[in-house]
Structure 1
């Protein structure tokens, strides 16, 4: 049975920490009584409570002493409440801090708008020097944690809550920074569907399986440096893109790709500009925001029909 991203993170970090004594696990009161890292390596586990800004500053001190701190909390609290500390410690000073932001997007559905995070990628992307990873499923999450643990770069890793998915198959030797194509199908096509994150990738997989003349490219890393490195390859695949991402359009991956590729058409299937008006499951809140298989299929058909109308 697959683990959720946040459970895969805890398990994989514990595996790594058994072999690497520099790994330190910091939590903002999310661990519960059965946190595997706390149970197995209590002397390197610290529950810092609801103190996100101070936690980043403490992580900076640990990194200064050549330790590798992983700090986990809600995406909304890390990216928004601790933004200044992230900007200075990770962006400006390049401290080797790894933020693991669970409850990304609206995955904490019942917690309401205060705990939702549809702006975090835009905020972190505006800072320099921070790698941003949005893994899909247990296998990719584990690989991202492995990559983060050996990289000197600051990391922001966006996860969901309890959703479990099987990751798309990636060659073992490939980094998650490499674009991954569904069914290993990379060819010139009318439309390239780009997915970022877990729910988005599930939608993109369905679109790919039920549409003609499309390619599905999954991006795990969406920081500025990686997106810039992808542009030549993406242009070789298509001149038209539909980016699916559990985020607002403003500051999204689609908006950044449109700046990097002004010669291409970049469309966005996103969570719009509304605030969710009620608590519900992850899927229910996404549907209220217009982010769903059905709406994505309708948007894809509209995009594909544009070409037909132009040639009539």
Structure 2
């Protein structure tokens, strides 16, 4: 249980709190322990929930106005002076409007800046293409020194924010906008930056997910076991960089069928990262990437968009059945795959 800004909450309150709200409360908790933490935003204190930190620590909170490029330049200067800036803005602004500043001011110097990017993916679907962050993971993955994390829910967001304090260098944590339901029941499930979490064991096929697709895949696995008799492994790859290549290869060797699901374009994100690992291994498997196929997202409510792009439970079930129905030769001799 945590006590912050005059309120008391337990991890079970996460069911009624957004990922961003949990981030704001956890940051206050960390601010009590680490006096070097400062909060910085670009006139989005309320929307990104870093304002919770600002209310508790007004002398350690800075609003630079609607100037995202300045936001990251100032954060870089703070880091160079020995502070630990937590920078909050929308994912589209962090990854694109201030792309050069993140790359050159922060990553090039390997500075200890923690970027909490809200409204990730298509979670702000009604705002249209200007606010849908469907390319941010590809951009951030490409920057040297950058660590990239996509928590599955509010509980994992709390774990990621706490873990990044002791993780050196720049970190990009991408969270959603709305009331994303929780998958985890508590924080004690073995979260570790760079290590995948197996949320369901299986031998027939592996679903590799991040963010909101983790819960959907977990629910789909239950249905597929009950209705189709399938043993479906589900991996939560919450850290896209550094990537848990061992967990991916273990899934390839043991299930031979892999599908990735991500709230992002299929170009350069989770699916591409997994594909690189498989291709480098020389091992063959049935493989499919599910996300936005080189297109801008439609405008609509997130739940409708998740269904349209086959990222909800029903869509994942359909994709699994399609892949399981493919003619794929499984043999025990890997030598001809190399």
Aligned to 1:21: 35
Q: 1:215 aligns with which of 227, 233, 241?
A: 233
1:25-174 aligned within 5 A:
25-32=39-46, 35-168=51-184, 171=188, 174=191
Which of 303, 306, 314 is matched with 1:286 structurally?
A: 306
Partner of 1:39, secondary structure, is helix
Shift of 1:60: 0.7
**Candidates 289, 310, 323, aligned match of 1:303:** 323
- Cα 1:93–1:124 change in 2 (3 A) is same
Give the 3-state SS of the residue equivalent to 1:132 in structure 2.
Answer: strand
- Compare 117-126 and 146-155 and name the one that shifted more: 146-155
Q: Distance in 2 between matches of 1:238 and 1:196?
A: 19
- Please give the alpha-carbon distance, in whole angstroms, between the structure 2 residues aligned to 1:85 and 1:174: 30
Q: For residue 258 of structure 1, what is the aligned residue in structure 2?
A: 275
Cα offset for 1:310?
5.7
C-alpha distance in structure 2 between counterparts of 1:190 and 1:23, whole Å: 46
Provide the secondary structure at the position in 2 that maps to 1:261. helix
Q: Deviations over 1:171-225 (max 9, x none)?
A: 4554243221125x3x5x1211111112x112201221112121111111011x3
State how far apart, in whole Å, the 2-side matches of 1:153 and 1:238 are: 35
> For 2:252 and 2:291, how far apart are their aligned partners in 1?
22
* TM-score calculated relative to the size of structure 2: 0.84
State the distance in 2 between where 1:305 and 1:50 align. 51
Give the TM-score of the pair, scaled to structure 1. Answer: 0.90
The Cα shift of 1:277 comes to 3.9
Q: Deviations over 1:137-165 (max 9, x none)?
A: 22111110001112212100000002232
Q: Which sections of structure 1, spanning at least 5 residues, go unmatched?
A: none
Aligned mates of 1:229, 1:51 — CA distance in 2: 41
Q: Which runs of 5+ in 2 are unaligned?
A: 1-12, 225-229, 331-338
The alignment covers a number of residue pairs equal to 304
Structure 1 position 236, deviation (Å) = 4.7
Say which SS state the counterpart of residue 156 (structure 1) adopts: strand
Describe the SS at the equivalent of 1:217.
strand
Secondary structure of 1:245's counterpart equals strand
- Residues 199 and 235, structure 2, Cα contact 8 Å, conserved in 1: yes
- Alignment match, 1:175: 192
Deviations 1:62-85 (A, max 9, x none): 000111001011101100111111
- 1:234-253 alignment runs, 5 A limit: 234-253=251-270
Paired with 1:63 and 1:265, the residues of 2 have a C-alpha distance of: 45
Deviation at 1:230, TM superposition (A): 4.0
Aligned to 1:271: 292
| Cα deviation 1:3-60 (Å, max 9, x = unaligned) | 2111111110011001110001111212239832111100011112221111111111
Distance 1:293 1:165 in 2: 13
SS at 2:126 equivalent? helix
CA drift of 1:247 comes to: 0.6
* Root-mean-square deviation (Å): 2.1
Contact 2:20/2:175 (8 A) holds in 1 = yes
Q: Distance in 1 between matches of 2:218 and 2:271?
A: 18
